């Protein structure tokens, strides 16, 4: 869907905040932003960053006001995106979108993204999550609808942090972080550890929410503020 579940987003936000504090999140590229949830939640945590969105479904740009949320919006299929023309970035976000392509396509996209970005953060469903097209958008189909933690480890290159959050039925979400350069891997691994410590020590119960209605401005703002209060502590 053009929106996603809340699980794992505080960890991604905390990592972005840690990288931003180090001056290492000055350009963020959001792949498959849908309704622009990541920009809504995290732009305040990266005050010095410019944000670029790469959205495959053109109608979402107007429907969700993406040009008001991002400094640059590119309508393109990431599988065929020219990463050289996209230019270098500090962080590439793949939020609940790699399941919309085959595992081989995802592996290729990540390899090409890693050549032009220092850090990658990924959120991806784990377990059986079938989905058909939505509102006429064929790109909403889950091509890979039964991924495991092991599957994702085989797809994502140069993992250096993350976790799988699943229930007793094996369904849930995985949040992963990757970098290719050895020094960047050390930096990202440290940021992930710091972020996990911040989340673990957070007093806000709302950070552990599984579902938030991100199309409800008040609910989204409340969740954003809980994340900011915790990760900027």
Q: By mean pLDDT, which of 7-16, 30-39, 57-66 is the weakest?
A: 7-16
Q: Can you give the residue range of the structural domain that contains 159? A: 9-231
CB proximity list for 107: less than 8 A, separation 6 or greater: 155, 157
Query: What residue has token string 């949040």?
Result: 175
Tell me the CATH number at 190: 3.40.50.150
Q: What is the count of structural domains for the chain?
A: 1
CA separation for the pair 228, 220 (Å, rounded): 12
Which band of pLDDT confidence, cut at 50, 70 and 90, is reported for residue 216? Answer: confident
Report helix, strand or coil for 55. strand
CA separation for the pair 85, 83 (Å, rounded): 5
Which band of pLDDT confidence, cut at 50, 70 and 90, is reported for residue 2? Answer: low
The β-bridge relationship of strands 117-128 and 89-95 is parallel
> Is 164 inside a domain boundary?
yes
* Environment class of 116 (CB within 10 Å of its CB; exposed 0-12, middle 13-18, buried 19+): middle
> Is 79 inside a domain boundary?
yes
CA separation for the pair 112, 32 (Å, rounded): 16
User: In this structure, what are the phi and psi dihedrals at residue 3, rounded to the nearest 5 degrees?
Assistant: -120, 175
> Is 218 inside a domain boundary?
yes
Residue 81 carries which DSSP code? -
CA separation for the pair 36, 55 (Å, rounded): 10
- State how far Cα 29 lies from the chain centre: 10
Q: How many Cβ atoms are within 10 Å of 209's Cβ, its own excluded?
A: 17
Which band of pLDDT confidence, cut at 50, 70 and 90, is reported for residue 171? Answer: confident
> Is 14 inside a domain boundary?
yes
> Is 2 inside a domain boundary?
no
Kindly tell me if the per-residue pLDDT of 143 is higher than 80: yes
Which band of pLDDT confidence, cut at 50, 70 and 90, is reported for residue 165? Answer: confident
Beta strand spans in the chain (E): 27-31, 50-55, 72-75, 89-95, 117-128, 146-147, 159-166, 172-178
> Is 145 inside a domain boundary?
yes
Q: How many Cβ atoms are within 10 Å of 114's Cβ, its own excluded?
A: 20
Closest CA to 197 of 10, 6, 26, 20: 10
Closest CA to 94 of 119, 70, 115, 75: 119
> Is 192 inside a domain boundary?
yes
The β-bridge relationship of strands 172-178 and 117-128 is antiparallel
> Is 3 inside a domain boundary?
no
Tens of pLDDT, residues 112-139: 999 999 999 999 989 888 888 888 888 8
Q: Are the C-beta atoms of 121 and 12 separated by less than 8 Å?
A: yes
């Amino acid at each position: 869907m053009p929106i996603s579940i809340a699980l794992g987003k505080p960890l991604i936000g905390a990592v972005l905040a840690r990288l931003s504090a180090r001056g290492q999140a000055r350009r963020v590229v959001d792949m498959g932003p849908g309704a622009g949830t990541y920009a809504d939640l995290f732009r305040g945590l990266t005050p010095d960053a410019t944000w670029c969105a790469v959205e495959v479904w053109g109608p979402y740009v107007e429907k969700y006001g993406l040009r008001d949320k991002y400094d640059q919006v590119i309508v393109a299929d990431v599988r065929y995106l020219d990463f050289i023309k996209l230019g270098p970035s500090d962080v590439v976000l793949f939020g609940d979108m790699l399941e919309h392509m085959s595992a081989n396509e995802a592996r290729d996209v990540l390899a090409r993204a890693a050549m032009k970005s220092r850090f990658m953060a990924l959120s991806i469903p784990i377990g059986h999550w079938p989905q058909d097209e939505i509102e006429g958008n064929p790109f909403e189909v889950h091509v890979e609808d039964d991924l495991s933690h092991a599957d994702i480890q085989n797809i994502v290159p140069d993992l250096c942090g993350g976790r799988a959050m699943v229930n007793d039925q094996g369904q849930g979400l995985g949040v992963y972080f990757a970098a290719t350069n050895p020094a960047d891997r050390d930096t990202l691994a440290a940021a992930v550890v710091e972020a996990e410590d911040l989340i673990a020590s957070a007093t806000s119960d709302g950070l552990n929410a599984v579902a938030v209605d991100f199309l409800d401005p008040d609910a989204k703002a409340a969740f954003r503020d809980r994340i900011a209060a915790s990760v900027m502590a």
